[in-house]
Amino acid sequence: MPSIRDKSTVEAIAVAFTSNGRKQEAAMLAVGYSKAYANSYCGKLWEDNRIIQAIARIDNANNKINIATRSQRQAFWTEIYNDQTKNMADRLRASELLGRSEADFVDVHQTKGDDAPTMSDVELAQAKLIAQNLLRKQA
């Protein structure tokens, strides 16, 4: 039976757990624990800080690999926008997402709540006109 004191066992449990859909018993069985042991000691094992930290390291590594950076997203949207073979709806959506990422649009929001100040209709209309004028100046 594997020993939890062995660093390779801790890593093996963490890898099995993160790759099997986060099934605790299956991870313990995968590294060589018996079914009876996996059922009876499963809870205590998962409270071990070494296992928690090993799982966190794997999760962090996976997240860094899977999450696109801002420049990667912008490059992707630009590629879609420039691809003449894509349908126009996809190209327009890519253009919109790229514009939002570059802060090309100005949104005016009215918030309401007990502690939030409210805008009158006149103030809201003035804010919209200011935003439109700013957009015209940028174009």
Q: In terms of domains, do 73 and 88 share one?
A: yes
Is the separation of the CB atoms in 26 and 44 below 8 Å?
Answer: no
pLDDT band of 139, cuts 50, 70, 90 = low
Q: In terms of domains, do 100 and 112 share one?
A: no
Dihedral of CA 62/64/70/71: which sign? negative
pLDDT at residue 118 is higher than 70? no
Expressed in percent and rounded to 5, the helix, strand and coil fractions of the chain are 70, 0, 30
Q: What is the 8-class DSSP label of residue 110?
A: -
pLDDT in tens, 62-111: 776 677 778 888 899 999 999 999 999 999 999 999 888 887 876 666 66
Task: Find the domain containing 129 and state its range.
Answer: 108-139
Query: Which amino acid is it at 108?
Result: V
Position 21 scores a pLDDT of 84
Number of domains in the chain: 3
Q: Percent of the chain scored above 70 by pLDDT? A: 84
* In the block, residue with structure tokens 């174009």: 139
Asked whether residue 2 is domain-assigned, the answer is no
Q: In terms of domains, do 73 and 46 share one?
A: no
- Residues 112 and 104: their CA atoms lie apart, in Å, by 26
Q: In terms of domains, do 86 and 122 share one?
A: no
Q: In terms of domains, do 133 and 86 share one?
A: no
Q: In terms of domains, do 53 and 81 share one?
A: no
pLDDT in tens, 48-63: 899 999 999 998 887 7
